[in-house]
Structures are given as structure tokens and as C-alpha cells.
Structure 1
């Protein structure tokens, strides 16, 4: 995720970060500019259309549809940000639940070997979940002194959660924890799986295709028809005006596309690897 100072206006205005949509849209902006110049040349120089031409009235359509496209893009960006923010809350919950589980285990367990097991496995779950959501291959070794063999053809976070619960159940069978303590620890392990399922719901349920496709087509045809009407009042200045309008509308759609899947590797996605690293530090401090 991009780290920045929200109060630094100069940086925002004059710096082009690699995540800025301007870089991605440059080819399309050049194409739109050339298209607008071509439409202006045809209407003013080749066809020599006058102010009385009915083509000028195309701007009426733009005035009517401008409000509609603004509503669609506002809903699109809000929906995408809700998914991003929900993902952040889920990983914040994973941080808190990992700490709570570690605090409870630190009070219950006396055997250092048991503590070492959970010292590795609890942050291991966060690390596995991070790679699972990124569809990355999970390494077999989580720590230098602890080997974790996983079946890569099966759900990896579930395998780690099962190992955690098996260990807790083993502690109960060996009388190291009581039945009441088993119930308390079970709820913490269950919360890990619930967080994983909620993250998978976000990742595996994109915005409906028809809705996303409609917005892209709407933006395209809206921008493509702009030069026909506004060339009468702007002349060749219609080129930068249309390019800027396209940049604004397309940027909103690109931003929504990027943040609607918050678990990827884009610049504005959630720093899940960093969060998993922090969980490891906190758990090791507690245990």
C-alpha cells in the first residue's frame, strides 16, 4: 500500500506515482486526443458545418447523461472502497484475535515446547492466509527451526487451523488445560477460519460482469460523442477538454478496479504481508 502524507498537496499535484492512473491511461488519452482533433477537422474544415447544424445539439444528450454517469461512478467507487475497507477490518480482526489467543495461551501453558509450537503456528496462519489470498505458492518452511508440510492440493489455511486445534485438543487430553479453557481457545481458532472465509468471499465475488462492462461502455461512448457537439463552441480546444474528461471518468473506474480486490499486489492493495509480519512480532513478544 502506498504510504503518503495526506496534507502534502504539492506532492499530490506534481508527482506521478507508479500507481497513478495517468501512466496507465496515456496511450488511450493520446488516441482520444487524435480522435477529437480528427472530428474537429472534419466538422470545421471538411464538412464546414455551421452553428445552425443539428449536430451541435448533441450536447443536450451529454447534459442529460452527465448526472447518470456521475451516479454510476459514485456507486462503483463506493462499492469498491467498501470491499477494500472490509478487507482491512478483517485483517485487523486477525491481528487482535492472534494477540488474544497468544495472551490466553501464555497464561495457560507452562511447557516451553508448547509455547514454541504456538509461537510459530499462530503467525504461520497469517502468513499462509496472506499467500493463499494472493494465490501464491506457500513455502513448506515457516521458521528455521520448524518445518510445516502442507498438501498444496488442499485448502492451506484450513490445514493450519486444523493443526492448531489438534494441538489444543492434545493439551486437553494430556490435562494441561481444562475443559473451560478448551472452549475459550476453540472460539479463538474458530475466528481465524471465519476471517479466512470472509476474505475469500471478497476475493472470489467480483463486481458483476454486466455492471462493470456497462460502465466501461458508457464511458467510452459518452467520451466518443463529446467532440461532435462541443467543437462548435471550443474549436480545436475540444482536444484537451475531451482528453481531460476521459482521464477523470476512466481514472475513477481504474481506481475502483484496483481496490475492489484488496488482497492482490497492486500499489493500493492492503499490506497483508506487513500485517502478517507484525502478527509474528507481537506473538513472539507475548509467548
Structure 2
């Protein structure tokens, strides 16, 4: 995710990183060169390279802008919902750390049980990052699991869910050993269930993209509009047509590309959510709750990028 202060008016026109420009630059260049060729051909052979009425382009441009705006709103809703889910995960993890304080009343065994549960919670947050983000590294998960548990983790079809099952199994053993009461068990197990609900919500977002037909329609319409636009303005704008069409292409293709990035909030794009940094935040909070003092600083953006 891009984290930077609001740029000044001068900086506004020179910011490249995170501006989508590099991603859509090939399309803009193609539209510019095509417009240049159409203007040159119209100047040389106006009977062959015809101009079109610009009126329909204005109407189509308005309709396309509305549809692109609707799609981007839908993509942003996915992005924001994913951010709320991870905010909820942080909230539940912190609450779970407070709830497990009741285990420390059982002496050393209770303290060890609490630390085991919180280690599993930390491992879960990092495992969820690997589960949602392709190519994730599970080294951070391994740091909080013993060798046997990590072996089970690597063999599981759904590693984060395995860790939740292990947490529930630990709670069941504590109840069977009479270290926690029925009410305490229900309280702690409810928090594990809430963590599982967050995972299910994130999996729903990841596995359910926007309808392909709708996205395909917008892609086709945007490309056709930009390809035909020079024919509508070649008479009125002349040699200024390539610059105007390139600006229009930047707007439409930029909105389209930004929607693609927001549609996948757990990806590796610059505008994706910093779920790795959020998992690190959970780790720092829970390790502090366990009494550790040698903690790393909270995640900070590097070159205005927080991942």
C-alpha cells in the first residue's frame, strides 16, 4: 500500500511510483502513435482517412465513465472490506491475549499454555498472509511453531485452519484438565471462532472476483473508444489530437488498471493491502502481551510502500 503525504502541485505531475503510469504506458504510447498516424493520413489523404462526428464520442465517454466509476467503486468495496477484516483480526487477537490472562492463575502450566495459544495466534496471522498472497514465505510461521507442528502445517491443505484446530484442541485439553471452567472455555473458543470467521471472509474475497463478463465488457469498450477517438477529433483538433487522445487514454486505462489492483486486495501490487505489515503488528502486540521486551519496531513504509 502506498503511504505518503499529499504531494504539492509541482510534485503532482512528476510522481511515477504508485501512479499506474508505468503499467499503462504501453497502451498510452500505442494510442498516441495511432492518433499521430491517423492525423498524418487525414492530412495527406482526407478521402481515405475519414473523420467522424464527435457527438457520439461525448455520449459514449460519459457512459463509459459511469461504468468505470461503478466498477472502481465495487473494487474499492472489496479492498475496504478486506481492510476491515484484517482490522477485526487485530482486534480479536488483542482481545484473545487479554482473555488468556486467566490461564496465568494456574501457575507455570497455565503460563506455558497461554504462551502456546498466543504463539499459535501469531503463527496464524503470518500463515494467513501466505495463504492469501501468492508466493508468501512461511519463515515467520516457522519461528513460532515447534518442528512437529510445522511439519503438520506444511502438509495441511489449509494451513491457517490447521492452526485454529490446534488452538481449539489446546483449549479442549485445558477444559478436560479442569484448568478452565465451562464459561471460560466458551469465551476463549468463541474468540477462536471469530478468528476463523475472518479467515473465511478473506477467502471469500480472494476466491470471488468481479463477474468476468462485466470486466470484459468494460475492457473492450475502453479500448474501442480510445482507438476510434482520433477519428472524431481529427478535424477539430488537428495535430493536437494525439495529445488529447493520450490524455483520455491515461484516464480510462488508469481507472481500469487501478480497479484491477483494488479488486485483488491481497496481491503484491503497490496498491494492495499491507497484510504482511498487519501480521507483524499482531506479532508485536502479542509478544508484548506475553511480557517480551526485545521487540522490533512497528512496520514502517519503505520508499512510501508498506507491504
Q: Give TM-score, length-normalised by structure 1.
A: 0.92
Q: How many residues align?
A: 282
> 2:124–2:141: 8 Å Cα contact kept in structure 1?
no
Deviation, structure 1 residue 43: 1.8
> 2:266–2:272: 8 Å Cα contact kept in structure 1?
yes
Corresponding position of 1:134: 133
Corresponding position of 1:235: 238
Corresponding position of 2:56: 61
Structure 1 residue corresponding to 2:254, chosen from 230, 241, 251: 251
Deviation, structure 1 residue 6: 2.6
Judged with a 3 Å threshold, the aligned counterparts in structure 2 of structure 1 residues 140 and 3 are, in CA distance, closer, same or farther, namely closer
Corresponding position of 1:143: 143
Judged with a 3 Å threshold, the aligned counterparts in structure 2 of structure 1 residues 165 and 104 are, in CA distance, closer, same or farther, namely same
Structure 2 residue 208 is the aligned partner of structure 1 residue 217:
no
Structure 2 residue 74 is the aligned partner of structure 1 residue 79:
yes
> 1:42–1:48: 8 Å Cα contact kept in structure 2?
no
Q: Using the TM superposition, name which of 246-255 and 1-10 deviates more.
A: 1-10
Gaps of 5+ in 1: none
> 1:106–1:286: 8 Å Cα contact kept in structure 2?
no
SS at match of 1:109: helix
In structure 2, C-alpha distance between the alignment counterparts of 1:44 and 1:120, rounded to whole Å:
72
Judged with a 3 Å threshold, the aligned counterparts in structure 2 of structure 1 residues 182 and 253 are, in CA distance, closer, same or farther, namely same
Deviation, structure 1 residue 14: 1.8
Judged with a 3 Å threshold, the aligned counterparts in structure 2 of structure 1 residues 207 and 144 are, in CA distance, closer, same or farther, namely closer
Deviation, structure 1 residue 265: 1.1
Corresponding position of 2:87: 92
| Per-residue CA distance 1:59-96 (angstroms, 9 max, x = gap) | 12112212210110110110110000000000000000
Corresponding position of 1:117: 116
Alignment root-mean-square deviation, CA: 1.9
In structure 2, C-alpha distance between the alignment counterparts of 1:63 and 1:115, rounded to whole Å:
65
Corresponding position of 1:22: 21
| Per-residue CA distance 1:5-59 (angstroms, 9 max, x = gap) | 1364443332211x32111222222211111111112222113589xx7x442x1
> 2:2–2:271: 8 Å Cα contact kept in structure 1?
yes
Gaps of 5+ in 2: 291-307
In structure 2, C-alpha distance between the alignment counterparts of 1:206 and 1:62, rounded to whole Å:
30
Judged with a 3 Å threshold, the aligned counterparts in structure 2 of structure 1 residues 141 and 38 are, in CA distance, closer, same or farther, namely closer
> 1:258–1:269: 8 Å Cα contact kept in structure 2?
yes
> 1:133–1:200: 8 Å Cα contact kept in structure 2?
yes
In structure 2, C-alpha distance between the alignment counterparts of 1:158 and 1:94, rounded to whole Å:
14
Deviation, structure 1 residue 242: 0.5
